A and B are shown apart, each in its own frame.
Chain A
Amino acid sequence: MKGGSMARRGKSRFLASLGMTNLLSAMFVHCVLAIGAAPSVSAQVTARRLLESGKEPQNWLMYSGDYAGRRFSALEQINTSNAAALVPKWAYQTMAGGKFEATPLVVDGILYGTGQDNRAFALDAKSGRPIWQYQRALPADIRPCCGRVNRGLAILGDKVFLGTLDSHVIALDAKTGNVVWDVTAVDYRGGYSITLAPLVIKNLVIIGVSGGEYGIRGFIDAYDAATGERKWRFYTVPGPGEPGHETWEGDSWKIGGAPAWITGTYDPMTNTTFWTTGNPSPSNRGEGRAGDNLYSNSLLALEPETGKLKWYFQFSKHDEHDYDATQVPVMVDQGEKHLILQANRNGFFYVIDRASGKLIYAKPYAKVTWSDSKDASGTPIARKDASPTPEGTRVCPGAAGATNWMSPTYDPQTQLFYVTAREQCDIFSTAPQSYERGHAYYGSAYFPNDDAAPFTGALRAIEPGTGNIKWEWKHPSPTWSGVLSTAGGLVFTGDAEGNFIALEAASGKVLWHFQCGASVYSSPMTFAVDGKQYVAVAAGSALFTFTLP
């Protein structure tokens, strides 16, 4: 209080000394001074900085930390020898209910985050104090599947980009949170929403949509970062005359789903962006959509300037178990091999050649009963008797999957791939359902199979060369936390019981943990300001940061 009043007095004295009692004249002078100042304020995050994000490990410039989707940081101040001493530094409360799934960005000491119900905020990354806050006024009749969530922002120049629950893409001024542009991607009343963090490549903001539970027709869009003008759209369900259209029965393609609701990755060497897609609609009923249902549950290699498809790989053909392939496709190079690694929701770990899209191998990393054979390419194919029945049939993994949207991480030091695995089997049942625009369209029900209880989970460290599990760390119940790895020899993850945990990356030994007070439903990240490293994670309604004392 005392400090505040002194500051106010100081300000009036200063104004008086300048003879500026008029606010407008102060504004005028400010503008003149600003114009004359060094142009460090504009285009602070260039496309080149995004490409070379590895050169500035103190910053976290995109959803997965880098274009390769590794969620690995070269910061090593917090490491295996001192992690046990980590302490909370600050918490930022959104005061919003529901799942807080976002990964923040940090650029030059400022943290940019999103929260539930399309909140966005910029904080002093050292103190947690807000610089600006934004919340979108959402229509009353949005009904996004699975929570009013958002997973984060993308940044380019002096703008941050947000996808909204009413299916808009908006650009906010990075310094004020003011809306710079706002475009409608699609009419949300058709069951569409956007929950992912966009990906910026060059001058384009690339996003995908959610809505696989509503019989949407999925797509991936690119917008001009400067103006919001849409540059291209790639429909993840091909229309008449397009390759892949023949994989849909009758008119089922029109409501075929295949939403792209997790952020993609980008390979600058081949100028290819990799995106993944979710389930065909209705999720648990194959009747009426005979065929492979391309490009549902697929990995897509697209040319960023045009959205042209280079190749695709479909993980789960004609899916009836909601096995979205919406897990970040992680780029890893091993000698001459350029790979994509994905631990899929369907329980298999896939290693794919990044140049051709050809499968190298697929191996279970969790309990799998939906498939017991593979086709000639080695792709697992579904058992006929795993199809949902009217009475219900037990299938593993369950509908939430062996993993889900929470990020895995690849640590180039240990050369291990770490993923959150969920061990839960469900009873899948099906029933006819007619499509009605904007209404839930599952054709099904699913619920946990009590005979398979207790449901558990584990953080698993997978050797990409073999698919073998090097170590695992068991969770008491299935968790929705992602994983971060750092050059300090650490992996960070959370659990459903509210713990945020640091483990030794090489062995899985727990070094530290903190009780956040609510389940961790997000993927952690790390950053540094003024030479001090912080680790951040969202849990409950709060974003927590930790550092060394």
Chain B
Amino acid sequence: MLTLELDPRTLRRDRWTLRWSCVLAGFALVSCCVNGTWLLAQEKNPFAGDAKAAKVGESQFRANCAFCHGLGARGGGRGPDLTRAQKRHGNSDADLYRTINEGVPGTAMPPNGATQQGVGMTEEEIWQVITYIRSVEKKTDATTVGNASHGKELFQGTAGCSTCHMIQGKGGRIGPDLSTTGSARSTEYLVESVRYPSKRLAQGISEAMKEFSQEYETVTVVTADGTKFMGVVLNEDHFTLQMMDTRENLHLFQKDTLKSLEKSRESLMPAYDQKMLSDKDLQDVVAYLLLVGAQ
């Protein structure tokens, strides 16, 4: 019986292989054509400067991009402000096309069509979105905001920013790395984050299938033996907590073994008022962040 059942299966496997070879060959052909078209089309925006295309692009933007990048592309809590001329992942049309179509690995920016929101776009629609983004871009560079080199001194010195924040490998760990923040956030957002850090907590880890990123919440735990730790939440689920304390030590807890666990949306970062950082000095710090972000 075993043999009799095995032999037809061999035949079927051959048919299977043949069928898939055909399908794959067909697929390869189609892919070449499609990729060929893309290679040509990806370089240059066929709708550049076309106001009507920008309008259509706005509809697409609202459906596919606004969830993270906000209305008018001014940035939300999740996605960068796209009205800035300087884009973190490239400024050319081809760069924007690639960023939208392929996403940015290691960030919350997904490939086209793979967002949990929106429906994905055709090549034509992507170009319309790029046309729209170009139509709302504003020119801002570091020099129009403030003195970046003074900002760097403040950041690394008297303002104390680098105690908690790292830029290009130097600085503390308890706050978010700010190396790319200047390219990802509006100046208004940066100013607000310094003056009122608890108003909108920074985003931490993004997991592939999870809708919302972990935020830099403040956490205080007391372990079973009475030891108290205060710091930021790196990640958590219902059962576990991964945190960094204010001395930059990592702690990994099973929540049910803790004596107490308290979370707060009051940021560990002090709110910098005028006395701690004047408007002018703040502008200089922002200028430094913009300059670094553009690098």
Measuring CB to CB, which residues of chain A are less than 8 angstroms from any residue of chain B? 11, 14-15, 18, 23, 26-27, 29-30, 33, 97-99, 137, 140-141, 143-147, 176, 213-214, 391-392, 427, 429, 431, 433, 439-440, 442-448, 450, 453-455, 474-478, 495-499, 501, 510, 513, 515, 518-519, 521, 540
Contact B237 A519 (CB under 8 A): no
Contact of B3 among A11, A141, A443, A521 (CB under 8 A): A11
**CB <8 Å contact, B119 and A497:** no
Please tell me if the beta carbons of A29 and B4 are within 8 angstroms of each other in the complex: yes
- Contact in complex: A519, B10 (CB < 8 Å): no
Q: Is the CB of B211 within 8 A of A30?
A: no
In the complex, whether B40 has a CB less than 8 A from a CB of chain A is no
Contact with A along B70-84 (1 / 0, CB 8 A): 110000111000000
A496-B77 in contact given A140-B30, A513-B239 (Cβ < 8 Å): no
Give the docked Cα–Cα distance between A476 and B235 (Å).
Answer: 11
> Which of B54-62, B85-93, B162-170, B269-277 forms part of the interface with chain A?
B54-62
State A14–B208 Cα separation when bound (angstroms). Answer: 52
Judging by beta carbons under 8 Å apart, are A440 and B63 in contact?
A: yes
What are 6 A-B pairs with beta-carbon distances under 8 A?
Answer: A30-B4, A30-B7, A144-B119, A146-B117, A445-B67, A453-B215
- CB-based contact B212/A477 at 8 Å: yes
A-B pairs with CB below 8 Å: how many?
A: 142
Q: Does B247 contact A (CB under 8 A)?
A: no
Most buried by A among B10, B210, B239: B210
Q: Are B238 and A27 in contact (CB under 8 A)?
A: no
Q: A446–B200 Cα gap in the complex (Å)? A: 19
Q: Per-residue 0/1 for B114-140: is the Cβ within 8 Å of any A Cβ (1 yes, 0 no)?
A: 101111111001000000000000000
- Chain B residue at smallest Cβ distance from A392: B71
Nearest residue (CB) in B for A32 is B4
| Residues A445 and B4 in contact, CB atoms below 8 Å apart | no
The residue that B237 contacts in the complex, of A33, A439, A498, with Cβ under 8 A, is: A498
Q: Is the CB of B208 within 8 A of A431?
A: no
The answer to whether the Cβ of B209 comes within 8 Å of any Cβ in the partner chain is: yes
Taking the closest CB of chain A, its distance from the CB of B187, in whole angstroms, is 18
Q: Which chain A residue shows the least CB distance to B59? A: A433
B105 within 8 Å of A by Cβ? no
Cβ contacts under 8 Å, B122 to chain A: 141, 143, 439
- On whether the beta carbons of B237 and A447 are closer than 8 Å, the reply is no
CA distance A501 to B71 in the complex (A): 38
Q: What residues of B have a CB within 8 angstroms of the CB of A141 in the complex?
A: 122
Distance in Å: Cβ of A429 to nearest Cβ of chain B: 6
B119 touches A454 (CB 8 A): no
Residue of A392, A429, A442, A521 most packed against chain B (CB within 10 A) = A442
Are B7 and A429 in contact, with the CB atoms below 8 A?
A: no
Per the bound structure, the CA–CA distance linking A18 and B2 in Å amounts to 13
Contact B239 A499 (CB under 8 A): yes
- Interface on B for A, CB 8 Å cutoff? 2-8, 10-12, 23, 26-27, 30, 34, 58-64, 66-68, 70-71, 76-78, 113-114, 116-122, 125, 200, 207-212, 215, 236-239, 265
A450 touches B77 (CB 8 A): yes
Partner of A478, one of B61, B125, B212: B212
* B30 x A147 contact (CB < 8 A): no
Q: Nearest Cβ in chain B — how far from A521, in angstroms?
A: 7
Q: Can you add 8 more A-B contacts, CB < 8 Å, to A143-B121, A440-B118, A477-B210?
A: A26-B3, A26-B4, A445-B66, A447-B66, A448-B212, A476-B238, A498-B237, A515-B237
Q: Which residues of A contact B119 (CB under 8 A)?
A: 143-146, 213-214, 440
| Alpha-carbon distance A146/B10, docked complex (angstroms) | 39
Residues of chain A lying within 8 A (CB to CB) of residue B121: 143, 440
B120 x A137 contact (CB < 8 A): no
For the complex formed, measure the closest distance between the CB of B239 and the CB atoms of chain A, giving whole angstroms.
Answer: 6
Return the contact of B11 from the options A27, A98, A213, A448 (Cβ within 8 A): A27
A33 x B4 contact (CB < 8 A): yes
Known: A14-B3, A445-B62. A97 touches B114 (CB 8 A): yes
Q: Which of A11, A143, A446, A474 contacts B2 (CB 8 A)?
A: A11
Contacts of A453 in B (CB 8 A): 77, 215
- Give the distance in Å from the alpha carbon of A498 to the alpha carbon of B117 in the complex: 20
Give min CB distance, B211 to chain A, whole Å: 6
- Contact of B2 with A30 in the complex, beta carbons under 8 Å: no
